[in-house]
């Protein structure tokens, strides 16, 4: 069946079209037919782009005033006679939507009906910057593909197996009870994909291994997955907590906020900007949030770039140590996303000191990974270090197939 995967953000809509079915999922033989993005929606320089299997790529800068127009254009590109891949939009059998926040309600993906939509809307208060666009994307796609089943796949769902000791904060309990303030965790689709892929790669059922999944993109998070279930993860009530990220601070002492309010007259708007946009790699280095630029600057002797890299990797190692204990042992540590898949230096620095847990890096293998799936620990290493390129879209497609087949 043909599954359209939609990821609708504030100013962009990314999409992929897959040819897949239950058999293909098991055998890993699904095909990506098309991939593209509509960007800068509402700006003068908005653009649309598509690349279909065996067809010339198409890119155009045109005014795209609204998300409604963006999704209409996605269907137009997919059905275009020259660069498209299907003849009619009704060839799309199902649509899978990325939804950022599913709160405590959604523990797995599900078909969207009126009741589910109402519950997703209830989660808007927990993710006011993301869920409204995901909902909007669904509503527009539903109006254009009204007979097609639509499925929601949540970033938070995979983490819902965390025990109370992991997801509760040590705040007055009413804050959890009455205001739903707790750790939710994000990047769940990526962590789930990587954890599952480890099992496929090493031919193990999910109950047979513990894995720490390390997602290092512009946003970064880490998860402890014990026998297929998340035991802990580093992002919390929002994606701000945990690891050092491109522009986000990750863990800090919350008293710093009170100090800034009192000493500088900081308010919600400025604190939000400082912690989410001006901290992390860019804040420490003063140069960039792009790891490639920091690696280059550090090699050229820039001390703050080197410090940013040091803090970034040290934080990851601390979490790997903590999660090894949380799971009473680990079998695999799997690196993914832009930095995790591509940076030899970061993987090497994150592996320092892990010998204590039985993970021994093979530096030569690490140098040869080139963003490909595989192991970069020594043959004798008890804990395997690996790279697993993430593919959230394909997991959304799989969940969509399973949900419309009544398997979820």
Active site residues: 155
Helix (H) or strand (E) holding 158: none
Q: Are 225 and 212 in contact (CB under 8 A)?
A: yes
Interior/surface letters 347-383, b for 16+ CB within 10 angstroms, e for the rest: bebbbeebeebbbbbbeeebeebeeebebbbbeebeb
Contact between 185 and 162 (Cβ < 8 Å)? yes
Examine residue 367 and tell whether it contacts ligand ADP (CB under 6 A): no
Give the one residue of 228, 239, 246, 280 binding ligand ADP; rule: CB under 6 A.
246
Of the listed pieces 264-272, 284-292, 320-328, 357-365, which binds ligand ADP according to CB under 6 A? 284-292
DSSP codes joined into one string, 59-84: EEE----SHHHHHHHHHHHHT-TTT-
Count of CB atoms within 10 A of residue 107's CB? 14
Q: Say whether residue 292 binds ligand ADP (CB under 6 A).
A: yes
Scanning 88-96, 290-298, 324-332, 355-363 for contacts with ligand ADP by CB under 6 A, the matching segment is: 290-298
The single residue listed with the structure tokens 């098309």 is 34
Based on CB atoms, which residue is closest to ligand ADP, 213 or 324? Answer: 213
Q: Which of 85/337 has CB closer to ligand ADP?
A: 337
Decide: helix, strand or coil at residue 230: strand
Among 160, 226, 285, 342, binds ligand ADP (CB under 6 A): 342
Name which of 153 and 327 has its Cβ closer to ligand ADP: 153
What proportions of the chain, in percent to the nearest 5, are helix, strand and coil?
45, 20, 40
Q: Measured between alpha carbons, how far is 98 from 229 in angstroms, rounded to an integer? A: 21
For residue 339, state whether it binds ligand ADP (rule: CB under 6 A): yes
Handedness of CA 25, 28, 31, 34 (dihedral sign): positive
Which residue is nearest to ligand ADP, using beta carbons?
338
User: Taking CB under 6 A as the criterion, which residues in 199-228 touch ligand ADP?
Assistant: 217-219
Which of 291, 297, 326, 403 is in the footprint of ligand ADP by CB under 6 A?
291
End-to-end CA distance of the chain: 17
Distances (CA, A) of 66 to 13, 18, 382: 11, 25, 53
Q: How far is the CB of 288 from ligand ADP (least distance, A)?
A: 8
Closer to ligand ADP at the Cβ: 103 or 219?
A: 219
Site string for ligand ADP, 35-74 (x = CB under 6 A): ----------------------------------------
> Which residue in the set 343, 366, 391, 400 belongs to the binding site for ligand ADP (CB under 6 A)?
343
Of the two residues 212 and 327, which places its CB atom closer to ligand ADP in the complex?
212
Q: How many CB atoms lie within 10 A of CB 325?
A: 11
How many residues bind to ligand ADP according to rule CB under 6 A? Answer: 13
Out of 223, 244, 338, 399, the residue judged to bind ligand ADP by CB under 6 A: 338
Residues 6+ apart with CB under 8 A from 220: 242, 243, 244, 245, 246, 250, 316, 337, 339
Told to check if 290 binds ligand ADP by CB under 6 A, we report: yes
Judged by CB under 6 A, the stretch of 196-204, 286-294, 326-334, 350-358 that binds ligand ADP is 286-294
If binding is defined by CB under 6 A, does position 400 make contact with ligand ADP? no
What span, in angstroms and rounded, lies between the C-alpha atoms of 143 and 98? 17
Residues found near ligand ADP in the complex (CB under 6 A): 217-219, 246, 290-292, 295, 337-339, 342-343
């Amino acid at each position: 069946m043909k599954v359209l995967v939609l990821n609708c953000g504030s100013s962009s809509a990314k999409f992929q079209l897959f040819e897949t079915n239950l058999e293909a999922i098991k055998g890993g033989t699904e095909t990506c037919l098309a991939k593209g993005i509509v960007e800068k929606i509402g700006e003068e320089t908005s653009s649309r782009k598509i690349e279909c299997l065996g067809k010339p790529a198409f890119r155009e800068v045109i005014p795209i005033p609204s998300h409604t127009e963006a999704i209409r254009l996605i269907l137009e590109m997919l059905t275009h006679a020259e660069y498209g891949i299907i003849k009619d939009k009704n060839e799309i059998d199902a649509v899978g939507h990325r939804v950022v926040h599913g709160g405590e309600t959604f523990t797995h993906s599900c078909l969207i009906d009126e009741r589910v939509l109402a519950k997703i809307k209830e989660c808007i208060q927990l993710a006011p910057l993301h869920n409204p666009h995901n909902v909007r994307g669904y509503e527009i796609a539903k109006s254009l593909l009204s007979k097609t089943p639509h499925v929601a796949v949540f970033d938070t769902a995979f983490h819902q197996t965390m025990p109370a000791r992991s997801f509760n904060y040590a705040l007055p309990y009413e804050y959890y009870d009455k205001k739903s303030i707790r750790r939710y965790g994000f990047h769940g689709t990526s962590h789930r994909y990587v954890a599952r892929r480890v099992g496929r790669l090493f031919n193990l059922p999910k109950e047979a291994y513990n894995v720490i999944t390390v997602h290092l993109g512009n946003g970064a998070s880490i998860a402890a997955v014990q026998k297929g279930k998340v035991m802990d993860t580093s992002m919390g009530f929002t994606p701000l907590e945990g690891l050092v990220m491109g522009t986000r601070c990750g863990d800090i002492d919350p008293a710093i906020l009170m100090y800034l309010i009192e000493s500088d007259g900081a308010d919600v708007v400025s604190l939000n900007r400082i912690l989410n946009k001006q901290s992390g790699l860019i804040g420490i280095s003063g140069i960039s949030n792009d790891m490639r630029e920091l690696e280059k600057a550090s090699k050229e002797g820039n001390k703050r770039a080197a410090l940013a890299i040091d803090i970034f990797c040290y934080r990851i190692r601390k979490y790997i140590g903590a999660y090894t204990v949380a799971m009473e042992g680990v079998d695999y540590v799997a690196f993914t996303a832009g930095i995790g898949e591509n940076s030899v230096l970061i993987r090497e620095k994150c592996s320092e000191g892990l010998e204590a847990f039985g993970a021994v890096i093979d530096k030569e293998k690490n140098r040869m990974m080139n963003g490909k799936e595989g192991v970069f620990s020594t043959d004798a290493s008890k804990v395997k270090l690996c790279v697993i390129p993430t593919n959230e879209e394909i997991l959304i497609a799989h969940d969509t197939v399973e949900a419309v087949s009544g398997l979820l």
